[in-house]
Structure 1
């Protein structure tokens, strides 16, 4: 088994809970941003193998695919339950999305989280050199850089948080919040999705860590300088636009068109997660049907919501709630030849979704809290420039601060949801085109490659690793 350490040239090492190794397609998400850069630099991707064993295993499997090397770490069942289902998704996820009522503060969860972070830090140390840049992805690994430093391992480290960073008052509710913050402060560069996230973290660092703000991006904490970079993630806008007219996309669009007839399509596509505001969205559509009987039989709302983390109790409860809501709304408003809500609890291929987005007159993206929300950007990328649909977007999505030409609404207000959908359906063609052009220009200018380059450029101005 060959050691993947290199002394030169510098390369990018990505660390994330899941990798793109063995994927049928690398289209979309993190893989688009990282794969080409990793391949060009002879890079390495470190992540979970996806395998769960009855007992802990220290094995790191080294494999390669299409010019990218992978170091895959195994987990035991107890580690997976404590680290991933426990601390990551029953503590950090709800707190970071302002759902303290759903958080389960269990000291055993934190012990598992710290253990896995240490295990991944050991893999980073074993498989990298001092010339590498280590780019760690998301809330699963707040502590990784701290464990590297505690072990005397000098690496240039960056961290990108894909989810929101909450107000300091909320973050302090986590019993180990200071330990997590010390982990964040061990990184050289930290990237966040929105100005609001940057303001929240900056205030926390000042109030709790005594951080000194040196300029717009740099904070001094003790003898360490942290660069905090506003870095909203994007998509491959032009590539997704092409996907929307592919054979697969057109086939999916034609299948749904046969059901729609002359009705206008309103579409939502989300993981089944309580942060996405799906019950509130369903209630908003019920309000629309209640207030505007003229729309009965003339529109169809399709919600695609593949299950997520179904073994966590809150997600099972959400599934039951959506089943009951869609049944009630269809019973109250439907007719022999019209189903108001088509609710599909399954996933679809990326190109199929692109075709459905292109068909939809309204894209309904109404999370209660979201780091960015790339569905909003994909919906815009998929539109027909000559006859584009309208994006209805939650003010609490990170994308709202970039995509100001969408119809921005409060997702908690069912009347606001209803009125925005009504406005979108009635919007004149020239206004739809004007809004779409501005939105499409924005997602092309700050696409997935811009995001990657903008983050990595922060290392040019950051200080050396401590």
Structure 2
């Protein structure tokens, strides 16, 4: 571990310990603690050790909001054992998908050599439950917002603006894992391969700024700007641009209006039409799955989405809608907390 890595790890350790010192005095027998995301992967161990000393019995759950890598990738981390050990002081460890949960179980088995089986890790005297909890949204919020007068006005305005063109919408943080450059290169290849779509297709790319002070992210922004400029220069005109690029956050009402007028939602996450590396790809039956690193596959996915018949489009939409309505964020939270009580 380099000096810089050690300093970063020491800071991470100290922050997790600080959280534990604040939380432990507030705990009582029977309390449940739900810890979220990679920032606090050591916290379960600190909490468990602290509550044992104070004689307090609590339930500890952890949910990771980001992908968990395969054991082959994870094992390169210098602090791999400490992180796994920290999480195994939980009663329940949750992930977005069964693939991420399986990666975690394999890492525990191969790196810590702990006994594992489907959905469980045996750690010392405890059995730690490991499961997938696909996170949802609040569909009723979208439906209610869609009915607002100002949103309907915005929908009419956007529909008029993009009249005669098919609209692809993408909303991403401008982050390396979101695959924005891959998406733009795929669109460039698509327009080259299918010139009949030039002037009839628009990508509305919303790129939410993130980590603007980091040099690597500044380079990413420069790369994206160059790709957008090249696309619009080669395939656009004074009256028409194939890419509308907005480097900004949008309020929720604007997002709803934009989704409402779109023909295709394109997700090209390189780790996270739907990229096969997006967590939602594993559960959203009815979407078109593709590998964003494979330009030909990405181009084919865009073409399928744009040329799909109305009957198939309606059937796919129905399956997706049923899943979203059934697996809301409220149901996700209830399922996790119910499992934590039983763990």
TM-score, shorter chain, exceeding 0.5: yes
Shift of 1:286: 0.5
Shift of 1:252: 3.4
Give the distance between the partners of 1:402 and 1:218, measured in 2 at CA.
22
- Which residue does the alignment assign to 1:279? 181
- Which residue does the alignment assign to 1:128? 27
Q: Which 5+ residue runs of structure 2 have no aligned equivalent?
A: none
Give the distance between the partners of 2:139 and 2:169, measured in 1 at CA.
19
Work out which of the residue numbers 436, 455, 464 in structure 1 matches 2:317.
436
Shift of 1:186: 0.9
Work out which of the residue numbers 166, 179, 188 in structure 2 matches 1:264.
166
1:368-404, Cα deviation, whole Å (9 max, x unpaired): 111xxxxxxxxxxxxxxxxxxxxx0011111111112
1:351-430 correspondence runs (5 A): 351-370=253-272, 392-430=273-311
Q: Would you say 1:191 and 2:94 are equivalent positions?
A: yes
Matched residue count: 339
Shift of 1:104: 10
- Which residue does the alignment assign to 2:137? 235
Residues 269 and 292 in structure 2, CA contact (< 8 A), matched pair in contact too = yes
Shift of 1:434: 0.6
The DSSP-based 3-state class of the residue aligned with 2:173 is coil
Shift of 1:254: 3.4
Shift of 1:181: 0.9
Shift of 1:347: 0.6
1:28-67 correspondence runs (5 A): none
Residues 219 and 225 in structure 1, CA contact (< 8 A), matched pair in contact too = yes
Give the distance between the partners of 2:269 and 2:229, measured in 1 at CA.
22
Give the distance between the partners of 1:369 and 1:247, measured in 2 at CA.
38
- Which residue does the alignment assign to 2:341? 460
Shift of 1:292: 1.3
Give the distance between the partners of 2:174 and 2:81, measured in 1 at CA.
31
Q: Which 5+ residue runs of structure 1 have no aligned equivalent?
A: 1-90, 92-102, 371-391
Give the distance between the partners of 1:426 and 1:129, measured in 2 at CA.
59
Work out which of the residue numbers 316, 321, 327 in structure 1 matches 2:223.
321
Residues 181 and 227 in structure 2, CA contact (< 8 A), matched pair in contact too = yes
The DSSP-based 3-state class of the residue aligned with 1:106 is helix
Q: Would you say 1:143 and 2:42 are equivalent positions?
A: yes
1:47-75, Cα deviation, whole Å (9 max, x unpaired): xxxxxxxxxxxxxxxxxxxxxxxxxxxxx
Residues 120 and 127 in structure 2, CA contact (< 8 A), matched pair in contact too = yes
Work out which of the residue numbers 78, 86, 89 in structure 2 matches 1:175.
78
Give the distance between the partners of 1:303 and 1:325, measured in 2 at CA.
12
Q: 1:248 to 1:414 in 2, by over 3 A?
A: farther
Residues 211 and 217 in structure 2, CA contact (< 8 A), matched pair in contact too = yes
Shift of 1:119: 0.7
Q: Would you say 1:213 and 2:116 are equivalent positions?
A: yes
1:298-320, Cα deviation, whole Å (9 max, x unpaired): 12111000111112222111111
Work out which of the residue numbers 172, 191, 196 in structure 2 matches 1:294.
196
Shift of 1:280: 0.3
Residues 205 and 243 in structure 2, CA contact (< 8 A), matched pair in contact too = yes
Shift of 1:278: 0.4
Give the distance between the partners of 1:310 and 1:106, measured in 2 at CA.
22
Root-mean-square deviation over aligned CA pairs: 1.9
- Structure 1 runs, 4 residues or longer, greater than 3 Å off: none
Bigger relative CO (Cα 8 Å, ≥ 6 apart): 2
The DSSP-based 3-state class of the residue aligned with 1:338 is coil
1:14-33 correspondence runs (5 A): none
Shift of 1:236: 1.2
Q: 1:104 to 1:173 in 2, by over 3 A?
A: farther
Shift of 1:203: 0.7
The DSSP-based 3-state class of the residue aligned with 1:305 is strand
Q: 1:232 to 1:105 in 2, by over 3 A?
A: farther
The DSSP-based 3-state class of the residue aligned with 1:343 is strand
Give the distance between the partners of 2:150 and 2:212, measured in 1 at CA.
29
Q: 1:301 to 1:110 in 2, by over 3 A?
A: same
Q: Calculate the TM-score normalised by the size of structure 2.
A: 0.94
- Which residue does the alignment assign to 1:11? none
Give the distance between the partners of 1:199 and 1:105, measured in 2 at CA.
31
Give the distance between the partners of 1:243 and 1:368, measured in 2 at CA.
31
Give the distance between the partners of 1:421 and 1:291, measured in 2 at CA.
12
